[in-house]
Amino acid sequence: MTIAVFLGSLMGAMLLGVPIAFALILSGIALMFQMGIFDTQIVAQNLVNGADSFVLLAVPFFMLAGEFMGAGGLSRRIINLCMVLVGHIRGGLGYVAIVAAILMASLSGSAVADTAALAALLMPLMRSAGYDVNRSAGLIAAGGILAPVIPPSIGFIVFGVVGGVSITKLFMAGIVPGALMGLSLVIAWWIVARKDQVAVAERKSLREVGRALLDGAWALVLPVIIIGGLKFGVFTPTEAAAVAAMYSLFVGMFVYRELGVSQVYGCILAASKMTAVVMFLVAAALVSAWLITVADLPGQVAGLLQPFTGSPILLMLAIMALVVAVGTAMDFIPTVLILTPVLMPVVRQAGIDPVYFGVLFIMNNAIGLITPPVGTVLNVVCGVARITMDDVMKGIWPFLLAQLIVLLALTLFPSLVLVPMKWFL
């Protein structure tokens, strides 16, 4: 009955067009009425406590870093470097998109921001070179979702806070799975684009390669600073976010000199607006999360999953199938906030490593960004490339299938995540 009340109130509010943050609060209030403990102070207290977290300061700083990188020329130089390195290969612009997506993911952690930058810079080039527009848009969308998996990841930060899992360990554990997702895109692109007759760029000279490397060196140093600092304990994830923001500001203003003083305010304003949305969602989710715990929803869900609890792999397959289904109808952050407090007790009870689960859970939710009808990243690509959702869906399925295969492989073989994590730590 409790599960029906929670899901009914949540989905009912969303179907009526209520914003997700308010729908989460309403679902919590519905649980309070069902249990007979309605108290407005519970709502207010959990709203305040939900946003009162030092770790969550990393969210605005990483978003600000992404804004500074776009306005300061760091993102453009990364794409130019990839063009110089692999642009001369047949289908080279596709490989440029993949390599650039991997590098940009290691800088910002925002799928929407990375996808918008990639699409704006590469779609005109791919269209003029004769690439299939639908397939090109699908590839860029699939590359954009590497950002929530490759550290630094805003998704890992939110999951770590809500689920009580080490964010540093999540960052380290996400490196290899993110690389495997990128490799799967390379293989899928090679298969579907090898027979295309498209214009191929000239191979650049060693001098041009060296010039591009030198020009992009400042941008490439940032992920080394972040990962190295976390690995050797120089700073926490929150401090790493602040370092990323200040480094991007410094490079954009004083090294590349493309970020003017007048643009800084605009970057701060854009990052603040995105942060406000995420933080209010987190605060609202903590209201429902507290009541989910009080109502023992995890225990009831564990009862439903009882047939699978004897085998961690079967349980993970069942959970991943559930998350794939939910991801088609809900956006990334709300799905993480709603399902994490429900699933984490079940996962811990089954003896599954919380870090391993977190990596696959975030990867699964990232894939949800390119599944219709919600598909936030799909909508970004459609808007930038000026094509319809139906068109981009025609081109994305090989890359969506490739990433689902990686997700399945990591579910069946947990050591692919856990062993490299121990190396990095």
Average pLDDT over residues 395-401: 93
Per the structure block, which two tokens stand in for 321?
Answer: 């199938």
Contact 366, 149 (CB under 8 A): yes
Looking at residue 92, its pLDDT comes to 82
Per the structure block, which two tokens stand in for 420?
Answer: 């490299």
Looking at residue 393, its pLDDT comes to 86
Looking at residue 1, its pLDDT comes to 64
Per the structure block, which two tokens stand in for 120?
Answer: 């704006």
Contact 392, 382 (CB under 8 A): yes
pLDDT reading at 188 higher than 90 = yes
Helices and strands (DSSP H and E) totals, the chain: 21, 0
Average pLDDT over residues 18-43: 79
pLDDT reading at 421 higher than 90 = no
Looking at residue 66, its pLDDT comes to 81
User: How far lies 364's CA from each of 16, 154, 354, in Å?
Assistant: 27, 15, 15
Check residues 125 and 264 and name the one with the higher pLDDT.
264
Average pLDDT over residues 414-423: 88
pLDDT reading at 405 higher than 80 = yes
Is 32 in a helix, a strand, or coil? Answer: helix
In this structure, the number of other CB atoms found within 10 A of the CB of residue 379 comes to 18
Average pLDDT over residues 344-348: 88
Q: pLDDT > 90: what percent of the chain?
A: 23
Looking at residue 200, its pLDDT comes to 67
Per the structure block, which two tokens stand in for 194?
Answer: 């090898």
Contact 89, 186 (CB under 8 A): no
Average pLDDT over residues 155-167: 90
* Continuous segment of H or E residues that includes residue 167: helix 167-173
User: How far lies 3's CA from each of 127, 223, 227, 331, in Å?
Assistant: 49, 42, 40, 21
**Residue 346 CA, distance from chain mean position:** 24
Q: pLDDT > 70: what percent of the chain?
A: 96
Looking at residue 302, its pLDDT comes to 67
Contact 111, 235 (CB under 8 A): no
352: left (phi over 0), alpha (psi -120 to 50) or beta: beta
pTM score, whole prediction: 0.83
**Residue 303 CA, distance from chain mean position:** 30
* Continuous segment of H or E residues that includes residue 283: helix 261-294
Per the structure block, which two tokens stand in for 292?
Answer: 């989910």
Looking at residue 404, its pLDDT comes to 95
Average pLDDT over residues 314-339: 84
Looking at residue 199, its pLDDT comes to 64
Greatest Cα pair distance in the chain:
74
What is the distance between the terminal CA atoms of the chain, rounded to a whole angstrom?
A: 44
Integer Rg of the chain from CA: 22
Looking at residue 406, its pLDDT comes to 96
User: Which letter does DSSP use for residue 202 in this model?
Assistant: P
Looking at residue 327, its pLDDT comes to 79
Looking at residue 50, its pLDDT comes to 67
Average pLDDT, the chain: 84
Looking at residue 359, its pLDDT comes to 96
Average pLDDT over residues 103-130: 81
Q: pLDDT band for 329, please (50, 70, 90 cuts).
A: low
337: left (phi over 0), alpha (psi -120 to 50) or beta: alpha
Spatial separation of the C-alpha atoms in residues 72 and 68, rounded to whole Å: 6
pLDDT tens digits for range 48-92: 776 777 777 888 888 888 888 888 888 888 888 888 887 777 778
Per mean pLDDT, which of 304-313, 342-351, 369-378 is the most reliable? 342-351
CA neighbor of 126 nearest in space, from 94, 102, 98, 101: 94
148: left (phi over 0), alpha (psi -120 to 50) or beta: alpha
pLDDT tens digits for range 240-259: 888 888 999 999 999 988 98
